[in-house]
């Protein structure tokens, strides 16, 4: 039975003997005219006046956009948004594009041109958020959780603050998009660290598709509201990165409409857990490194049995990565239980601890194998995973050991589909 996993830039073909279940959401068609759909959403937004009525000539406008680790089609969204602003009288010189990196690495000039389009980079002021630059962070106060919120100064000093991005299920924030465009995307490193702290990550409602009662998302909402965002423009995507829906307007109302749209289309029930789950991290740009691939593992973890096996296929052209503390924390801890023990130390806090915590929680109940052309066996082993160089052969070995009753499934689109036990 042939499959194509969303892997890297071109996909990964796979042949497995039946029976194998395929877990994927029904294909959603892309909008026939994306630019027109974007324009109409900006002109007839949700719970807001049209964008043209929210700006005036002379306003300083900052547009926060997703970084290269996200699939947001910035190069298709931003030209429409910029044209609407200029048609409303906003001068090009008064518009700033802000790469909302969170704690991720900055993009290279070539990456920015690929993300935004050459015309945007050449004609507009483009800045990149730095979560570690105290001079460019503004303190807004503390959330009800007691956590200090600091946010990008350029964003806060703007007259008009626009958030853009895309909505998909998220493994601990419930859904991406919406307030996540501020925290973590535009926040100081310490605000990200406290929001993604061990107790917050361990909360039972900090999971896929849950926002209300999820402390991580609720703090994101609180922090975003502190910034008084002017307008939200979020989209939804299919597996081919075509836009399937546009949600614009007041931040919370537009995001809620987008989440409802995604929940109905991306979340798929399954009848019983599987012995083996083969998944991806939705291909490039989402599988650029192993750190990001923990999301796909988390999606598979929802339907693998205790003691089962997850096989993750992620190209990892950016390595583990080398930046951040993901690899360092795994090396220091030495094992999944070691990770959890490390994070339980009083006062311990480190960048990327949230990712290793979720990875360890998964590995405490399932064996995780990694197939990657971008990583050596030594790198995969150092990240506490088992290398896999032939998925079909590995599955055959598991079936031989488990017997003919073994349940096997493939999630070809990775976390673009969120399965759950019905």
Q: Is 170 a catalytic residue?
A: yes
Buried b vs exposed e over 309-328: b needs ≥16 C-beta within 10 Å? bbbbbbbbbbbbbebbbbbe
- Catalytic residue, candidates 129, 147, 154, 170: 170
Q: Are strands 174-175 and 137-142 parallel, antiparallel or unpaired?
A: unpaired
Joined tokens for residue 67 = 């970084």
Inter-residue contact 42 to 249 (CB < 8 Å): no
- Please give the Cα distance from 398 to 23 (Å, whole number): 20
Quick check: 124 and 83 in contact, CB under 8 A? no
| Burial of residue 141, with CB atoms counted within 10 A of its CB: 0-12 exposed, 13-18 middle, 19 or more buried | exposed
For residues 248 and 254, give the distance between their C-alpha atoms in angstroms, rounded to a whole number: 5
Of residues 286, 326, 350, 66, the one with CA closest to residue 185: 66
**104, 129, 154, 255: which is the annotated catalytic residue?**
104
Under DSSP, is residue 70 helix (H, G, I), strand (E, B) or coil? coil
CA distance 313 to 297: 10
Helices 336-343/326-333 angle, 10° precision = 100
**Would you call 65 a catalytic residue per the annotation?**
no
Maximum alpha-carbon separation in the chain: 70
- Stated as kind and residue range, the H or E segment containing 257 is helix 251-266
Residues with catalytic annotation? Answer: 104, 170
């Amino acid at each position: 039975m042939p499959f194509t996993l969303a892997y890297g830039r071109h996909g990964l073909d796979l042949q497995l003997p039946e029976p194998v279940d395929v877990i994927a959401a029904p294909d959603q068609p892309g909008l026939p005219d994306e630019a027109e759909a974007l324009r109409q959403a900006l002109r007839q937004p949700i719970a807001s006046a049209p964008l043209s009525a929210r700006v005036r000539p002379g306003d300083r406008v900052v547009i926060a956009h997703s970084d290269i680790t996200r699939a947001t089609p910035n190069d298709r969204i931003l030209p429409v948004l910029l044209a609407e602003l200029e048609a409303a009288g906003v001068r090009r010189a008064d518009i700033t594009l802000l790469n909302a990196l969170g704690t991720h690495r900055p993009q290279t000039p070539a990456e920015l041109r690929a993300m935004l389009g050459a015309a945007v980079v050449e004609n507009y002021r483009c800045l990149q958020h730095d979560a570690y630059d105290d001079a460019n962070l503004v303190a807004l106060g503390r959330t009800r959780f007691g956590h200090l919120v600091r946010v990008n100064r350029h964003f806060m000093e703007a007259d008009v603050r626009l958030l853009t991005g895309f909505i998909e299920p998220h493994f601990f924030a419930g859904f991406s998009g919406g307030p996540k465009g501020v925290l973590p995307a535009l926040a100081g490193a310490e605000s990200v660290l406290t929001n993604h702290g061990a107790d917050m990550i361990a909360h039972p409602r900090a999971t896929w598709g849950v926002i209300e009662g999820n402390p991580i998302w609720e703090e994101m909402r609180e922090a975003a509201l502190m910034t008084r965002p002017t307008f939200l423009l979020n989209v939804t995507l299919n597996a081919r990165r075509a836009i399937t829906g546009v949600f614009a307007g007041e931040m919370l109302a537009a995001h809620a409409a987008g989440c409802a749209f995604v929940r109905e289309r991306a979340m798929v029930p399954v009848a019983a857990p599987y012995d083996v789950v083969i998944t991806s991290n939705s291909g490039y740009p989402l599988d650029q490194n192993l750190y990001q691939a923990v999301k796909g593992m988390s999606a598979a973890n929802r339907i693998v049995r205790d003691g089962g096996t997850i096989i993750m296929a992620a190209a990892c052209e950016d390595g583990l990565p080398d930046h951040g503390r993901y690899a360092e924390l795994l090396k220091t801890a030495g094992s999944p239980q070691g990770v959890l023990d490390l994070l339980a130390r009083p006062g311990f806090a480190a960048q990327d601890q949230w990712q290793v915590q979720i990875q360890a929680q998964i590995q405490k109940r399932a064996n995780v194998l990694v197939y990657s052309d971008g990583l050596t066996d030594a790198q995969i082993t150092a990240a506490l995973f088992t290398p896999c160089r032939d998925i079909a052969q590995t599955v055959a070995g598991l079936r031989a050991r488990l017997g003919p009753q073994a349940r096997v499934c493939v999630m070809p689109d990775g976390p673009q589909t969120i399965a759950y036990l019905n």
